[in-house]
Amino acid sequence: MRRRRGLRVLLAGVLFAVWAVAAGGCSGSSDERTLVVLGPWTDGEERPFKEALKAMEKETGHSYVYKGTRSLRETLVAQLQAGAPPDVAILNSPGELVEYVKAGDVHWLPESVAGAAVPPWAPTVTVTGPNGGAQTRAYWVPIRVDLKSLVWSRAGAGTEDADPVWCLGMGSGATSGWPGTDWLEDLILQRSGPDVYEDWATGRTEWKTTAPLWREWGRMMTADGRSPDTEALADFELLDDGRYGLLNRGDCTHEHQGSFVRRHYGDDVLPRPTSEYLDGARTSAQGGENAFEVSGDMAAVFRASDAAWDLLGRLTSEEARTSWAKAAQPGERPFFPGGTTASVPPSPGTQSVQKLFDSAGQICFDASDAMPPTLRDAFHRAVLEFVGDPGNDALLDRLLEQLEAERKLQVLDNSFVLDDLCANAVGE
Instruction: With 0.75 as the threshold, say if the pTM is over it.
Output: yes
Residues 163-221 pLDDT 10s: 898 988 887 654 578 899 999 999 999 999 999 999 999 999 999 999 999 999 999 98
User: pLDDT-derived band of residue 428, with 50, 70 and 90 as boundaries?
Assistant: very low
Q: Is the Cα torsion angle 195, 198, 204, 207 positive or negative in sign?
A: positive
Other CB atoms within a 10 A radius of the CB of residue 390 amount to 20
CA distance 343 to 326: 7
The pLDDT tens digits for 51-66 are: 999 999 999 999 999 9
CATH number of the structural domain 35-145+297-342: 3.40.190.10
DSSP class of residue 390 equals: T
Domain-wise residue ranges, the chain: 35-145+297-342, 147-291+364-418
pLDDT of 279:
86
Superfamily of domain 147-291+364-418: Periplasmic binding protein-like II (3.40.190.10)
pLDDT of residue 2: 45
- How far is the CA of 295 from the CAs of 91, 186, 216, 353, in angstroms? 11, 12, 24, 13
Q: What is the DSSP letter of 222?
A: T
SS3 52: helix
Q: 120 and 421 in contact (C-beta within 8 Å)?
A: yes
For residue 150, give the nearest of 265, 230, 270, 249 by alpha carbon.
270
Cα dihedral: 344, 349, 354, 357 (round 10) = -160
CA distance linking residue 322 with residue 344, whole number of Å: 11
* Phi/psi-derived region of residue 365, left when phi > 0, alpha when psi is between -120 and 50, beta in every other case: beta
Q: Work out whether strand 88-91 and strand 35-39 pair parallel, antiparallel, or are unpaired.
A: parallel
Contact 1, 85 (CB under 8 A): no
Percent of the chain with pLDDT over 70: 82
What pLDDT, in 10s, does the model give residues 265-290?
A: 999 999 999 999 998 776 555 556 79
Q: Is it true that 35-145+297-342 and 147-291+364-418 share their CATH fold? A: yes
CB 57 within 8 A of CB 356: no
d(CA 139, CA 111): 11
* pLDDT at 426 > cutoff 60: no
pLDDT in tens, 357-394: 999 999 999 999 999 999 999 999 999 999 989 999 99
Q: Which residues does residue 142 pair with via DSSP β-bridges, in sequence order?
A: 298
Tell me the per-residue pLDDT of 211-227, one tens digit each, with 9 for 90 and over: 999 999 999 988 877 77
How many whole angstroms separate alpha carbon 260 and alpha carbon 146?
7
CB 305, CB 182: distance < 8 Å: no
Strand partners, 364: 293, 422
Q: At what angle do helices 318-327 and 306-315 cross, to 10 degrees?
A: 60
How far apart CA 426 and CA 428 sit, in angstroms, is 7
Distance CA 80, CA 52 (A): 26
213 and 188 Cβ atoms separated by less than 8 Å: yes
pLDDT of residue 26: 41
Residue 22 reports pLDDT greater than 80: no
Tell me how far apart the alpha carbons of residues 8 and 363 are, in angstroms, rounded to a whole number. Answer: 12
Is residue 154 over pLDDT 70? yes
Contacts of 424 (CB under 8 A, 6+ apart): 4, 5, 6, 7, 361, 362
